[in-house]
Amino acid sequence: MSTSESNEAQTTISNPEDMSLSYEPLFDATEEDNGPCYLPSYSSEKVEVDSLSSTSEGVSSDGSDALSEEGVLEDRQFSEKEDSEISGDKGNSELQESFDELISGDLHSEEGETAQQRVEGVDRSILIETSSISDKYPETSEIQVESAAENGNAEVHNSYQGHESGRGGVNAIEGLATAIGGNGVLKPDIGQNEDRLKDNCVQGKQHQYEDDNSTAWRKHKKHFFIFSHAGKPIYSRYGDEHKLAGFTATLQAIMSFVNNSGDSIKYIRSGHHQVVFMVKGPIYLVSISSTDEPLRALRRQLDLLHGQLLLILTKSLEKCFLKNAKFDLGSLLGGTQNVFSSLIHSFSWNFASFLCSYTCLRLPHTARQAVGAALQDIADKDILFALVLSDSKVTNIVGADKASLHPTDIFLLSNFVSSSESLRTTESFLPVCLPKYNAMAFLYAYIYYLDKDTCLILITKNADAFFHLKDCKSKVESFLTESHVLHDISNSVARGGLRIDDLPGGDVLYGSLPVSRVMGDAKESHSISSIKQRTGVGGAAGLWHFIYRSAYLNQYIASEFLSPLETPQAQKRLFRAYQSLYVSIHGAPTGPHQMKYRRDENFVLLAWSTADFEFLAAFDPLAEKSSAITVCNRICQWVRDLENELFFLGANPFNW
Amino acid sequence: MSELDTSVQLCIFDTSRGQSDGQELDKILFFYPSESPFSAQLSLIGLGEGIITFTKMFSPNAPCDIIDTEKRSHVFFQPEPDIWMILVIEKRKESGELGRTRALQAILMEAHGLFTLFYGSIRALLLNSPSGDVARSCLQAFLPDYISDVMTVKRLSMLSSHSGLQERGTIQMMALDRSTALEVQSVVDLLQSWFGSGRIHHTLLLFQDLLVSTTLPPEDAAHLYTYARMRLIPAAISTSSGGHSLKKVLSRANSSSVHLKASASDITAAGQRPSPADSSNHHSQFFTPRPLQHDKWWRDNDGFLVTDAWGVDAQGMSAITPTVWLQQSSQERMKLVAYQHKQLTVVMLISVMHLAPNADGSHVLRNQVLEKASNKLNALEDRLSKEWGGINANHVPGYRYLYVDYDSRVSKASPAGKIATLTKDSLLSLDKVRSEIDIAKGRCDGSGEAQPYELETCVRTRSNAWVVVRIRGNHELYLVLERASETLLLTAEATEKFSRRHCDGIFASD
């Protein structure tokens, strides 16, 4: 314990200085990911949870959506006979019934139950809709029961909570409801040194009222669509899914036209635009973008989007389509808009999205070990994985024997957790699926924020493990709090990642630096003279930014965006350039290129790929080749010397 | 059912035609292979049109470039408003991804460029003959020859990946020293100084397959140069029959198509001609020249090149002089007369407008050339062949390179034999790098040309070769260095050295 205490002392001393350096203007809500700026649209669902009357409103709006979709269906002649047989009145009355039921239920329910009802209500409205579509398909309702049961599981645990901790339980239910139901709350300003690019995400549905006829909609730089093989929209990044039914039907028609000739379409390029098609069983995914990202990067993004869908619903959703081609998946996803929009946003700031790796919180080795010990301590047969994420970065992971967590699963899980604002306020127990671990089955995730940035996730196969996991949480929490490791972690989060100006500069011998000093107080450990020697803006030799990826650890480390990469535009440009560079060295038909140097008007980029590691760096466009190479070599050596702190070494290597 | 080879399909269609139901076939102007069932033709056009409409939603100014499917690549090119060409290439299992889209589009561009050189624009043909028969027969007469030409060079699907150090549609110049250049200029001036019925408007001089001099603007020069390389240079003309057989061939042509009456001029002004009811028997109605037909150019005894690809005149006594349309300079129709002495080929263009009606000015010109210029031309040939450094003249030891100046459409490259020594890995890597750059360049084209594009890229491939690209404005340099021990710095230095010595220092980094 003494080591971690001394570490803590050091970090607290260094903090003020560090902070003064690292603090940047925070969260800039007006900057939006792509396209023109609009005010964030708040979804109505947040309001629903708050009051009784609005709950029924919320449900009724769900219901009317279902109805209007029926109409669309008929208009588009998608439906076969069964569809046309259904009279609108019938559906209407059934819906009305369910509303009545809901409202009457609400009358004598607690606030917590309201939320519960709402979840149920959404489900029921799906039930009504699908059963009205086809009386001929009794299986459909069976499926609904399945999915309702899944939700039911969650509800059961919520009610446990309710019994146990009163108000807290209510919060938990609210949390779950909003986690599943999503909300329009903007991410609060978190007092930490974060890339602003990351914060640019406007949560909730953007441009809700656009459709394929509006010019504004067509001008968005990057569209994502998920729809069923029958052409029924499931998700669209922009615009209202229901209004886009005609558009997704067009996409589906293109795909099936090519399919008819025994072929399948992969992509279309027209000028700046790329349309990328992906088929995943009965789920079709399409992106339309004018961002000039390489094809392989776009494919990876569609893969991730599909993975996110599986994380929420598992692959067994495909069975629903086998049973009923016109199955409406959109309603099962009700309110998960945030998860998808934050995922798509991460495609333009999170290096993990193209590096197929995860990044770790920079933490003194002892602190990381302490977290590991705490997690190891609670590991038992019920816990499949235990991980601590801080600010979307991994602090430590412990897995049951032989089980390993794929970086993609970490990425998707982290996105799912961080994009659900309500999970921050309370403990939650949710069904999730880790697509790379087992795409077919649900696991259960116990999620609890130890502090405002740091989140404990316990994953179990056992649907009844809530109380057990709650105990585990308490153990971990008390251990981490008492040992001040939690404090170390929050300091690390506040300090942010690696900074270019932390790096040993000029003639300082990196090897001779005591590790703890480099970690603890970067400023002090490097002489002022070495700082003065720097050429250009940024780090040595005009270095602006770098990423180091360890191939066998499947982890990467990226430096913070510093001057002159202050603007989100500059950061995004660099992000895209890195992405192209990375894809380009890996896209060679005969294996990855070993090295790539690229200079254009924006920067000099260097990529270096070896069996052990990959290194990407950005320099000032006027940087000298020779000094840039020297700096790169130095950083690589330095990173390897600091592996203990920068990376999490205990993880099992992944086979993929 | 015989198995139809559909590994390569080429289709040209006009989206402004056949708007009403049941008229869809009217859209099709050309389809290769022509034996394809109509259903397959319509299916391809349907797909093409559908995608074009679809992509216009998002990218109204640049509709569809390529559709890539599991088995095929569909490369699109829109040469004229509403007119589309689609090249469909079946992917071979081993090669997987197809090479550069641009390289394949360049084939379509070249095909269209040559077509307009001989027939004028497709739209003009359609305006003259609204039924489309003339346009169809012209395309039918031209494209199959072109396709077979392109295909014999290499398998089309492999073309792009092996042409990383070649640039279609550009001209390779012969390097001349100053006094030779002056002599060339004086010969050209002499040829163009003659007035009278056979005034020469433009000339194009080639030594072997290298351009020595031309008075044409870059685009027309590139088209005519391409044609000359394909059919007129000593290596390309028919050797089997020789000059003596012309009479024989002419008489044979005469007897086989007795009612050949129309000449090329009738084709290009075919509006007045009654169009045949069925386009399939148009050959019997009027003659459509086949400029790319193989073995149709001979060297006559007097050194002039003759062909019967444009048919023979009414008397059946002499071949009709080919005509070409210049697009860039004057939209004018010119008679093409070519003279050859050993390795030197002189292409002369005479304005049709300056000729008396029905008078073929070419023999007047022939006499003039023979009397006044042949000595000079022969002397020039001598001098050029002395100056010529052999087929490896452009070889720079240690480098495999391509340098393109898109302003003047001139390129310079390592000799093909030397490029062939590169490993497949290097070529594929180069191809990959080039296709990335194509896309990046496309981005710059769109966003206004406020500042010239500048780029420097060095890639070290898996097999330790270096692929270097330098781009500054419209000048591009591609280098492949297969010296394994090189570092990035040494490679950059080698590039710098090459640029200084062989590219006038255009890419100097200071």
**DSSP secondary structure string, A378-439?**
H--TTEEEEEEEETTEEEEEEESTT----HHHHHHHHHHHHH-GGGGTS-EEEEE--HHHHT
The CA–CA distances, whole Å, from B427 to B100, B421, B434, B479 equal: 12, 10, 10, 11
A595 shares contact with chain B (CB less than 8 Å)? yes
What's the CA gap between B211 and B229, in Å, rounded? 10
Predicted confidence at residue A504, as pLDDT, reads 67
Chain A nearest-CA distance from B486, in A, is 12
Check residue B125 and give its pLDDT. Answer: 92
pLDDT by residue for chain B (510 residues), tens only, comes to 456 777 889 999 999 988 888 888 899 999 988 899 999 999 999 999 999 999 998 988 888 999 999 888 899 999 999 999 999 988 776 555 556 788 888 889 999 999 999 999 999 999 988 998 999 999 999 999 998 888 765 554 455 455 678 888 889 888 888 999 999 999 888 888 876 656 788 899 999 889 999 999 888 999 999 999 888 988 888 765 544 445 444 444 444 433 333 333 344 333 333 333 333 333 434 578 888 888 788 888 888 888 888 877 666 666 778 888 887 766 778 888 889 988 899 998 888 776 655 555 667 778 888 888 888 899 999 999 988 888 888 888 889 999 999 888 899 998 888 888 888 888 888 888 888 888 877 665 544 444 567 889 999 988 889 999 999 888 999 999 987 667 888 888 888 889 888 888 788 765
The pLDDT of residue B1 is 43
Cα–Cα distance measured from residue B12 to residue B101, given in angstroms and rounded to the nearest whole number = 18
- CB A266 to CB B68 under 8 A? yes
What is the C-alpha separation between A283 and A261, in angstroms, rounded? 20
What is the predicted pLDDT for the residue at B345?
Answer: 92
Q: How far off is chain B from A259, nearest CA to CA, in Å?
A: 10
User: Cα separation of A134 and A83, whole Å?
Assistant: 7
pLDDT in tens, B359-417: 556 677 788 888 888 888 999 999 999 888 888 888 888 899 999 998 888 999 988 88
Is the Cβ–Cβ distance between B135 and B129 less than 8 Å?
yes
Do residues A91 and A128 make contact, with C-beta atoms less than 8 angstroms apart? yes
From CA A140, how far away is CA A133, in angstroms rounded?
A: 10
CB contact under 8 A, B47 and A218: no
Cis-peptide, bond into residue A564, ω within 30° of zero: yes
* Nearest chain A alpha carbon to B454: A600
| Mutate which: B36, B58, B481, B482, vs A, most A CBs within 10 A | B58
Which member of A588, A601, A625 has the closest CB to residue B429?
A588
What is the number of alpha carbons within 13 Å of residue B164 lying toward its C-beta?
A: 30
CB A594 within 8 A of CB A608: yes
Contacts of A576 in chain B (CB under 8 A): none
| Closest CA–CA distance from residue A434 to any residue of chain B (Å) | 29
Which residue shows structure tokens 């329009």? A184
pLDDT at A207: 75
Please give the sequence-ordered ranges of beta strands (E in DSSP) within B352-482, or none if there are none. 400-405, 410-413, 454-460, 466-472, 475-481
Tokens of A501: 């100006």
- Residue B80: its pLDDT value, please? 93
- For residue B357, the model assigns a pLDDT of 56
Report the chain B residue with the minimal C-alpha distance to residue A588: B429
For residue B25, give both structure tokens: 């076939």
Find, among B429, B489, B432, the residue nearest to B461 by Cα: B429
- 3-class secondary structure, A296: helix
Q: What is the pLDDT, as a whole number, of residue A642? A: 85
Query: How far is A633 from B281, CA to CA, in rounded Å?
Result: 73
Instruction: Return the pLDDT at B89.
Output: 85
Interface membership of B65 toward A (CB under 8 Å): yes
User: B400-502 is classed in which CATH architecture?
Assistant: 2-Layer Sandwich (3.30)
Distance CA A605, CA A617 (A): 6
Q: Which positions ≥6 away from A178 have C-beta within 8 Å?
A: A45, A46, A49, A335, A420, A421, A422
CB–CB contacts below 8 A, A to B = 139
Give A-chain residues touching B58 at CB under 8 angstroms. 218, 270, 273, 288, 290
Domain boundaries, given as residue ranges, for chain B? 8-165, 178-387, 400-502
B62–A585 CB contact, under 8 Å: no
What is the distance between the alpha carbons of residues A436 and A429, in angstroms, rounded to a whole number? Answer: 21
- For residue A595, list chain B residues with Cβ-Cβ distance below 8 A: 458-460, 488
Could you tell me the mean pLDDT of each successive run of 10 residues in chain A, 656 residues long? 40 36 35 36 36 35 37 36 37 39 36 37 34 36 36 38 36 38 36 50 66 86 93 90 90 93 92 93 94 92 96 88 82 84 93 92 88 87 90 87 85 92 88 92 93 92 92 92 91 86 54 34 38 49 91 90 86 93 80 87 91 92 90 90 84 44
Residue B285 is predicted with a pLDDT of: 45
Two domains, one topology: B8-165 and B400-502: yes
Given a contact cutoff of 8 angstroms between Cβ atoms, the answer to whether A377 and A339 are in contact is: no
For residue A605, what is the nearest residue in chain B, using CA coordinates?
A: B457
* A520 to A493, A539, B40, B85, B369: CA distances (angstroms): 13, 19, 71, 65, 89
Residues 199-258 of A with CB under 8 A from B: 212, 218, 250, 254, 257-258
B89: chain A residues, CB-CB within 8 Å: none
B460 touches chain A (CB under 8 A): yes
Q: How far is B411 from chain A (nearest CA, A)?
A: 23
CATH code given to domain B8-165: 3.30.450.70
Question: B438 at the A interface (CB within 8 A)?
Answer: no
Residue A4's region, left for phi above 0, alpha for psi from -120 to 50, else beta, is: alpha
Separation of alpha carbons A204 and A47, rounded Å: 13
Kind of pairing between the strands at B454-460 and B410-413:
unpaired
pLDDT 10s digits, A526-564: 433 343 343 334 677 889 999 999 988 889 999 988 878
Residues facing B207 on adjacent strands = B210, B344
* Total residues found in chain A within this entry: 656
> H or E element: which one contains B227?
helix B218-227
Q: Any alpha helices (H) in B299-423, and if so which ranges?
A: 362-368, 374-387, 416-419
Q: Which residues pair with A358 in a beta bridge?
A: A555
Tell me if A174 sits within 8 A of A427, measured CB to CB. no
In this complex, do A594 and B462 lie within 8 Å of one another by their Cβ atoms?
A: yes
Q: Which two tokens stand for residue B38?
A: 């109509």
| Number of Cβ within a 10 Å radius of residue A655 | 6
**What Rg value do the Cα atoms of chain B yield, rounded?**
24
A295-313 and A568-586 helices cross at what angle (nearest 10)? 100
Q: Whose structure tokens read 């302490």? A: A370
Asked if A268 reaches chain B (Cβ–Cβ under 8 Å), the answer is yes
Residue with tokens 């491939």: B461
- With CB atoms and an 8 Å threshold, state whether B463 touches A261: no
For testing contact with chain A, the best of B6, B9, B53, B67 (most A CBs within 10 A): B67
With a CB-CB cutoff of 8 Å, which residues 280-299 of chain A face chain B?
Answer: 288, 290, 292, 294
* Chain B residues touching A292 at Cβ < 8 A: 439-440, 443
B91 touches chain A (CB under 8 A): no
